[in-house]
Amino acid sequence: MADLSTIKTQLLEKHRAQKIPASVGAGVYAFFLAEANVIDGLSVEPPGLIYLGMTDTSLEKRNHFHHAHSGFSSLRRSLGALLKEPLRLRAIPRAPGQSPSNTRNYRFRDEDELRLTDWMKSHLTYGFANVEVAANMVEKELIATLQPPLNLKGWPNPQRRHLLALRAVCKDEAFAARFLDHQE
């Protein structure tokens, strides 16, 4: 497995959304709060790490700043659930159809997704480390040791229950939106 100390150092080389360097290949990435206490209801330890993930292809595939919507991003769904009230976000299904995954993996209205992206660009920084072998194993090890609060799996997260409750509100709202759309 790759040297975790070197990877941690690379992840701490934080970048703003507008200045993320191009990266090709597998690796792990991390999102940090740019300043403390900008999300009510979330406890974050220095250096502000909130989420850690991996890609087996390239950074561009997992650039959460540029996702079209939150339906395929656990990070964006968790942030949106936490910021639902202050950003006035409304959850909707990620796609048409009756599949339970469309409401479980909700998204927000287009204008709300733009507000969430703007918030992320203003309040988050990003780190990335290329990992040539076993990026998934490196990700698991880093989650277990660094314990990012928005990672809901991989460590005994004391904030998990609270985050899942907030996300459940969004899931319920997305479920209800399926029926409201048919009545309008």
More confident residue, 60 or 183: 60
Greatest mean pLDDT range, 23-32, 52-61, 174-183: 23-32
- Provide the pLDDT for residue 98: 83
Residue 6: Cβ within 10 Å count = 10
- Retrieve residue 112's tokens: 């709300």
Over residues 53-87, the pLDDT tens digits come to 998 887 666 666 666 678 778 999 999 999 999 99
pLDDT score, position 62: 65
Residue pLDDT, tens place only, 93-137: 998 888 888 888 999 999 999 999 999 999 999 888 989 889 999
State yes or no: pLDDT of 156 exceeds 90: yes
Tokens 């650039």 correspond to 63
The residues near 1 (Cβ < 8 Å, ≥ 6 apart) are 133, 134, 137, 138, 141
Q: How distant is the alpha carbon of residue 42 from its chain centre? A: 14
* pLDDT of the residue at 184: 40
The angle subtended at Cα 138 by Cα 135 and Cα 139, nearest 5°, is 85
Q: What is the pLDDT of residue 22?
A: 67
pLDDT of 21 reads 65
Residues linked to residue 30 through DSSP beta bridges, in sequence order: 52, 127
- Cis, bond preceding 47 (omega within 30 deg of 0): yes
Residue 26 confidence (pLDDT) above 90: no
Check if the beta carbon of residue 59 is closer than 8 Å to that of residue 87.
no
What is the distance between the alpha carbons of residues 51 and 47, in angstroms, rounded to a whole number?
12
Full-prediction pTM beyond 0.85? yes
